[in-house]
């Protein structure tokens, strides 16, 4: 009986250890922001879009137009057990350019600088949902135009 009791205790300890390991937080990193040492090499008003591409690399996101500003975005997301993933760190580096393609400004933003944007959900109700298949099929019988079927 002592050996059976010992096995049960070991099995319970193993289950407890597995449960604790399953609840540990996991982190995912997305995106790229160049290090501060590389940004020190850029001079506002002197360097151009081409020198930015050469020194720190092309951005992951650029402005709407082909000549838009550069945005480097990096996020760190924590997933903990059954809870919804949460963004715990975000850095955004914005490099804006003048009309002559020289650097106008270099700005850095973090998650604390962001604002929550409420998204409105606008859904148009459709009458198709309330009608069954036969009602939709039989409801179209009077809507057929024979002249339109032959191209006249």
Say if residue 45's pLDDT is above 60: yes
Q: What percent of the chain clears pLDDT 90, i.e. is strictly above it?
A: 5
**CB within 8 Å of 33: residues ≥ 6 apart:** 72, 73, 74, 91, 92, 93
pLDDT for 28 equals 92
Tens of pLDDT along 51-69?
988 889 888 766 655 667 8
Largest CA distance in the chain: 94
Pseudo-torsion of CA 138, 142, 147, 150, nearest 10°? Answer: 0
Distance CA 146, CA 106 (A): 66
Q: What confidence tens digit (pLDDT) does each residue in 123-148 have?
A: 555 655 667 777 777 777 777 777 77
Per-residue pLDDT tens over the stretch 76-124: 999 887 788 888 998 888 888 888 889 999 888 888 877 655 555 555 5
What average pLDDT does the structure give for the chain? 80
User: Global pTM?
Assistant: 0.61
Residue spans per domain, the chain: 23-111
- Comparing CA positions, the residue from 61, 66, 57, 49 lying closest to residue 92 is 61
Share of the chain above pLDDT 70, in %: 80
Tell me which DSSP letter residue 122 carries: -
What are the φ and ψ backbone dihedral angles of 109, each rounded to 5 degrees? Answer: -125, 155
CB 84 within 8 A of CB 112: no
């Amino acid at each position: 009986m002592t050996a059976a009791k010992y096995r049960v205790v070991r099995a319970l300890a193993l289950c407890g250890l597995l449960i604790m390991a399953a609840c540990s937080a996991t982190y995912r990193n997305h995106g790229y922001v160049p290090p501060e040492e590389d940004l020190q090499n850029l001079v506002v008003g002197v360097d151009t879009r081409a020198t930015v591409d050469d020194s720190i690399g092309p951005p992951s996101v650029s402005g709407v137009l082909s000549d838009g500003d550069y945005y480097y975005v990096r996020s760190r997301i924590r997933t903990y057990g059954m809870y919804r993933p949460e963004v715990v760190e975000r850095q955004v580096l914005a490099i804006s350019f003048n009309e002559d393609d020289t650097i106008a400004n270099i700005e850095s933003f973090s998650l604390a600088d962001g604002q929550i944007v409420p998204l409105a959900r606008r859904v148009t109700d459709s009458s198709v949902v309330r009608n069954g298949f036969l009602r939709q099929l039989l409801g179209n019988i009077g809507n057929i135009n024979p002249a339109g079927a032959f191209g006249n």
